Chain A
Amino acid sequence: MSSAADHHAEVDPAYRLAHHFESPEQQFETGKFGMWAFLVTEILFFSGLFTAYSVYRSNEADLFSYASGYLDTTLGCINTAVLILSSLTMAWAVRCAQLGQQRGLKFCLIVTLLCAGGFMGIKSVEYHHKIHNGLFPNAHFGAHEDPDGVPLHITDESGATVANPAARPAPENLRSFFGIYFCMTGLHGLHVLIGMGVIFWLYLRARRGEFGPKYFGPIDFTALYWHVVDLIWIFLFPLLYLIH
């Protein structure tokens, strides 16, 4: 009859085995299963937004194709590429940890962090444009320009503000598209920020040399989370930016 304390005394401390697990394998399996279950909740969390999007889009198809024109496809493309690259480096980080390559691990984590930072930077440029153009759905909502950048209103000879005949007039419920847009990308952005926090914490732990072939669970699980966050963006990008 070996007690919990005795039992774990036989295990190499490099496994960082918690008291309530029988073996390092069980600890790893448990963590991985837990992360998958958590990711299911994440998917369901976003599913509400995707449902709202589908309902809206089927109700207001014209509105969506008009409003999508406001989104900058080039910046969206760059951001997609940046995120996919970050997924690659994160996957590579798992491999480095498994092989005990400490320098490679730290390098991969830093590159992932930089990519995530770049994504958020580009996202904030996009947000800034939208807000500047009066497209943030708060009390001051009101587009200044049409999707092609033509001012919606001009001043005529008498100094009165009139609709610009050269612009494509904005449809009635424009703000609802941007409501969905800011909710979806905002919530996704929040997940990127949380991921950055976790990856930074992993980096600090990696600097202390905590990870190696015997203990790489946290890197593996965080990578799973990171891939799902990327995957959500891969759906958001075409649904918001690439519709006609």
Chain B
Amino acid sequence: MSSEAHVADGSAVHAEHETGENYLNCSHGLRSWLLTLDHKRIAVMYLAGLAGALFLGGIMALVVRLELWTGDGLVLSDDLYNHAFTLHGAIMTFLFIIPGIPAVFGNFALPLMLGAKDVAFPRLNLLSWYLWITGAVFAIVSMVVGAVDTGWTFYTPYSTQTSTQVINMTMGVFILGFSSIFTGLNFVVTIHKLRPAGMTWWRMPLMLWGLYATAIIQVLATPVLGITLLLLVAERALGVGIFDPSLGGDPLLYQHFFWFYSHPAVYIMILPAMGVISELISVHSRKTIFGYHAIALSSVAIAAFSFIVWGHHMFTAMSPMGNMIFSALTFSVSIPSAVKTFNWLATLYRGHIRLNAPMLYALAFIFLFGIGGLTGLFLGALATDIHLHDTYFVVAHFHFVMVGSTLIAFLGALHYWWPKMFGKAYDETLAKIACILVFIGFNVTFLPQFVLGTRGMPRRYHNFLPEFQGLHQASTVGAFILAIGLFLILVYLWKSLVSGKKVTVDNPWGGSSLEWLTTTPPPHYNFVGEPPEHDVYDYHDIRYDAAIDGYVLSKNEGDAAR
């Protein structure tokens, strides 16, 4: 079982290749997967689950967009339309984007990048996957069978009055919350306690800083969502009246609780994506990341600011003083975000840029995140927010951040680590075409929604005036282009798994972090022998070897064949 046993000398790489044993084939059968404690296998299981959630949420997005082809609906009744957008929003938010990058790529890459054998609590890690599955079943069954029509925010008092299955749905989200807490807890503890001696805080890849900042938010904010949802359940089941004004409660309190979690949750979605982009930009520019410390600390700063801006979701319901304070604090988040963006651009400057699929995603991210971030300022500013509040402008803004940035980074990460995870190559040409389709489809979908919003189209409405029809139809066309792009990805990645060319080189991209210095796919215990030491973002000793079509570590010229 343990692959280290046959390795005695320094030529670990070769021994590994001869035996061909890795984490995917070191044990067999469904049981070995369902009971696995290996973070890499758990990552693969998460990938399967999240792909399913993305598919389901995507189908619901298409249903919603199709329904908005005309102003008086196409096939769905008003109620069914409400169910459809709730399904789309809740599945995408709670089942896909929030677990998203940490659950799949964090689980896979974090211990590898750190040089650890596993996360701190492997059993807890597996438990969090099972909690995800359980929460997903709860949420999807209650939405599909019982139907929920509150939107993903479950605002009171509507959520305490509607006759749909809010209790089951919130219990599902509650369970998903614990899945997220346990993942975050594991990552925080792993980074604090499982770093090998040489791996100091300032030598960690920026992906780890991103995951660390994310994990802090997961640990500190998610419990508040948990108690909020429990109180909502208590309110519905027992009528305790905490959110009910007729019983002395306050419905706005629900919104404060909800956004105390859900605003930081936006950074749970974006921070790991920023971590991924930092890796992609540096590796595919063949250049040290510019402003390492600034990027690392800006992740932590975003995590810290994320807790003090939630009030911007209630500008139309708070005191002028409260509004001004929250507006100013909201603007503060733009500073660390801009710090990152400028540092990425500076990294690109004079780099040897390789326009392969992961890099295309990284460049798309910078562009789309730029739009998503800057339109956030429109909404953080009080005067414009009064006009734009609850319109399609908000919908377009958060889709630029969640889809345009997080999903794009997720896809970039998927293409970047795919060869390492599965030891299989994908079709690079198809990958580029798909990336361009996704990029065009996304922009065609959501750019018109900014215009719709500024012209006064309110969000979540089933019917609209005839003057909005053209833009709505453009948006629907874009959604289908986006869907075709995503479907294409599914097809060629599936093909890659089944019949893709084998990748045997350790380091196909010339990455400098530790996961590229172990074999492909990695062995069960991540490294053969002690984990290697290498300065991250230092590319001078990583050279391309045409004989193996991959990169090798060479301390000097003569050593290149090692």
Contacts and interface: CB of A to CB of B under 8 A. Distances in A.
Interface of A: 1-6, 18-22, 26, 29-30, 33-34, 37-38, 40-42, 44-49, 51-52, 55-56, 59-60, 63, 136-139, 141, 172-173, 175-176, 178-180, 182-183, 187
Contacts of A18: 122
Contacts of A173: 241, 247-248
Contacts of A63: 248
B489 interface: no
Given A1-B7, A52-B231, A187-B230, A19 B525 contact: yes
Interface stretch (B81-89, B164-172, B188-196, B200-208): B188-196
Contacts of B121: 30, 34
Contact of B242 (A2, A6, A45, A52): A52
Interface residues of B, number: 52
Interface string B114-141: 0011111110000000000000000000
Interface stretch (B232-240, B265-273, B431-439, B447-455): B232-240
Among B4, B193, B226, max chain A CB count under 10 A is at B193
B301 to A, nearest CB: 20
A176 B247 contact: yes
B223 A37 contact: no
B248 A176 contact: yes
Given A2-B530, A19-B525, A179-B242, 12 more contacts: A29-B193, A30-B121, A30-B193, A34-B185, A44-B224, A48-B223, A59-B248, A136-B238, A173-B248, A176-B240, A178-B240, A183-B240
10 contacts: A3-B528, A4-B2, A33-B189, A45-B223, A45-B224, A48-B223, A59-B250, A137-B240, A176-B242, A183-B242
A60 B250 CA distance: 12
A48 B249 contact: no
Contacts of A59: 248, 250
B52 interface: no
Contacts of A1: 7-10, 12, 529-530
A51 B5 CA distance: 56
B122 A20 contact: yes
A37 B227 CA distance: 17
A32 to B, nearest CB: 9
A180 B223 contact: no
Contacts of B193: 26, 29-30, 33
B220 A40 contact: yes
A139 B196 CA distance: 58
B117 to A, nearest CB: 4
Nearest to B242: A52
B219 interface: yes
B222 interface: yes
Contacts of A51: 253, 257
Interface of B: 2, 4-5, 7-10, 12, 116-122, 181, 185-186, 188-189, 192-194, 196, 219-224, 226-228, 230-231, 234, 237-242, 247-250, 253, 257, 525, 528-530
Nearest to A5: B2
Nearest to A52: B242
B194 A30 contact: yes
Contacts of A49: 227, 231
Contacts of B122: 18, 20
A175 B227 contact: no
B219 A175 contact: no
A239 B432 CA distance: 62
B189 A30 contact: yes
B185 A3 contact: no
Given A179-B240, A179-B242, A4 B257 contact: no
A113 B379 CA distance: 54
Contacts of B118: 19-20
Nearest to A19: B117
Contacts of B9: 1
A19 B238 CA distance: 48
A41 B181 contact: yes
A236 to B, nearest CB: 14
Contact of A3 (B228, B234, B529): B529
Contacts of A38: 185
Contacts of B116: 20
B71 to A, nearest CB: 41
Nearest to B234: A183
B12 to A, nearest CB: 8
Contact of A137 (B219, B224, B241, B530): B241
A154 to B, nearest CB: 27
B238 A137 contact: yes
Contacts of B188: 37
A32 B266 CA distance: 30
A44 B220 CA distance: 7
A156 B120 CA distance: 70
B241 A41 contact: no
A3 B2 contact: yes
A176 B238 CA distance: 10
B228 A179 contact: no
Contact of A4 (B10, B117, B196, B234): B117
B223 A56 contact: no
Given A30-B189, A30-B194, A175-B239, A41 B227 contact: no
B192 A33 contact: yes
Given A34-B189, A55-B250, A4 B4 contact: yes
B317 to A, nearest CB: 15
A2 B525 CA distance: 13
Contacts of B228: 48
B240 A41 contact: no
A130 to B, nearest CB: 13
B262 to A, nearest CB: 13
A60 B189 contact: no
Contacts of A175: 239-241, 247
B239 A138 contact: yes
Given A29-B193, A30-B120, A137 B227 contact: no
Contacts of B530: 1-2
A44 to B, nearest CB: 4
Contacts of B249: 56, 176
Given A20-B118, A33-B193, A48-B231, A179 B223 contact: no
